[in-house]
Chains A and B, each alone.
Chain A
């Protein structure tokens, strides 16, 4: 758990972060979102003490970070940044092994961990372990960045616009990857972005920041339904809120279940239980279907979802 209490950061006379209070529960993904200069990166960098705070308290698991050794603190916090910051003179494997090496793990354990992480992030160890960062694509490099941050299994993950410099398709892939990994490892994550869609997709809770203050700290659904101010309302987009709300809910919520799962007939068009309502609706509109089959992870047909129901109850 990370708690920020009345935290302020000044640069000269300018106030970058203005007396904020924020509690991030263990295992939750808190996304700080706002335009550039709103203080979100400054807030993140105060949590691992890359920046000192001007006043206030930051507690990690109840302990004031000002009393801790900054190196020890950071070794227990994965850190991913926009430009990846991979070490150009080290191979991919060496980059990922950075923190375990600092912690003086035995070699066999490091090797096993590097291989495990590369597999987790969908990088083939055989082809990529020996490469240098310059030889990777942007998406691969950022995967290595995430693997490096997870290497020593830290409790906390700090991510500063990690996917900001990537093209839309690569970014989307990495976001899905993040959700998948987060389901497996459940790290307390603080994620900074200026992209509200990214925030809605990844966050369990969103903190909207502007001019150094937190305007609203709530779940994605509440942010969409009850924006606290005009600024937040504009940020989430007044017009397409309906569709954004649909993309937060899984098909599972509104499907009509069969009595028992049926084996799927080959070639049947359908959606998965984990897919969101927006996708299901889009498929039905495009193919002009009144309803569509729903499959579970094993590929069995477990029910159907209808267009009517999504439109009536989806938001």
Chain B
């Protein structure tokens, strides 16, 4: 339970601040002493947070599914030939700036949530795919040989041996991907998706640093919360699957 405590505390601060941003008004007053409207009020922060989170969760779910499936496929005997291709495609995906993906996706998908979702999925693929490949390739060949040689079917080898052993590394990939995408999702505000990027964009357009700060604080908090959630998840995983050799 104690491993989850930091994430719970951070989540409480995040939700509390989204619901009651005006408590920080003195801070914003100090930043922007001459303004009347200090708190972004075109949309509630809770709604933006929820929307932002939904975008990240959906893209992470799709990205993880596709990347893990791709990684598994490329390490099977039948997919071995595609291994170099798959890792290349994933690398190219990463070199493509998300803004460029948006620019290309908007004419096809229109404004709104769809193009940013595409960008997030594409962008989040690489860390997961790379870690899936590293995790599966990193398993001691003797373990796989023993599993196969003792009568496990290929499916049983994958589910009972390979995925539990590679899981920790795959999880780390998902963690990187999600953290990057929390920041990237904010760009969606430029093409009409409702995210925590809205106050940032509005603040930049109107020259209101207070707005920018409000968006940035919440995005930062969301990233921290998610990261500590994964930290706790990884520790729990370690305790379950990879005990320390020293413990007696």
CB distance from B241 to the nearest CB of A (A): 4
The segment from A6-14, A73-81, A295-303 that touches chain B is A73-81
- A237 adjacent to chain B (CB < 8 Å): no
Judge whether B153 and A135 touch: CB under 8 Å: no
Judge whether A74 and B145 touch: CB under 8 Å: no
- B142 adjacent to chain A (CB < 8 Å): yes
* A interface bracket (residues with beta carbon within 8 Å of B): 20 to 34
Judge whether B150 and A84 touch: CB under 8 Å: no
Judge whether A98 and B245 touch: CB under 8 Å: no
**Interface residues as binary, B228-248 with A (CB distance below 8 Å gives 1, 0 otherwise):** 000000000000011101011
Judge whether B165 and A89 touch: CB under 8 Å: yes
CA distance A99 to B147 in the complex (A): 10
For window 138-161 of B, CB contacts with A under 8 Å fall at 140, 142-153, 156, 161
Interface size for B (C-beta < 8 A) is 23
Judge whether B142 and A71 touch: CB under 8 Å: no
Contact partners of B93 in chain A: CB under 8 A:
none
CB distance from A214 to the nearest CB of B (A): 23
Q: Give the interface centre of A85, A102, A148 by most chain B CB atoms within 10 Å.
A: A85
Judge whether A85 and B143 touch: CB under 8 Å: yes
Judge whether A88 and B147 touch: CB under 8 Å: no
Judge whether B150 and A74 touch: CB under 8 Å: yes
- B164 adjacent to chain A (CB < 8 Å): yes
Q: Give the interface centre of A45, A72, A79 by most chain B CB atoms within 10 Å.
A: A79
- A282 adjacent to chain B (CB < 8 Å): no
Judge whether B248 and A135 touch: CB under 8 Å: yes
Contact partners of B140 in chain A: CB under 8 A:
83, 85, 88
CB distance from A3 to the nearest CB of B (A): 21
Contact partners of A45 in chain B: CB under 8 A:
149
Contact partners of B164 in chain A: CB under 8 A:
89
Contact partners of B143 in chain A: CB under 8 A:
85-88
Contact partners of B149 in chain A: CB under 8 A:
45, 48, 50, 74, 79, 81, 85, 158
CB distance from B57 to the nearest CB of A (A): 28
Contact partners of A132 in chain B: CB under 8 A:
243, 245
CB distance from B171 to the nearest CB of A (A): 14
A71-B153, A82-B142 known; A87 vs B147 contact (CB < 8 Å): yes
Q: Which residue of A lies closest to B165 (CB)?
A: A89
CB distance from A161 to the nearest CB of B (A): 12
CA distance A145 to B147 in the complex (A): 12
Beyond contacts A86-B146, A87-B147, A89-B164: 19 other A-B pairs, Cβ-Cβ < 8 A, are: A48-B149, A50-B145, A50-B148, A71-B153, A73-B151, A74-B150, A74-B151, A75-B150, A81-B145, A82-B142, A85-B149, A87-B143, A87-B161, A99-B151, A102-B150, A102-B156, A132-B243, A135-B247, A145-B146
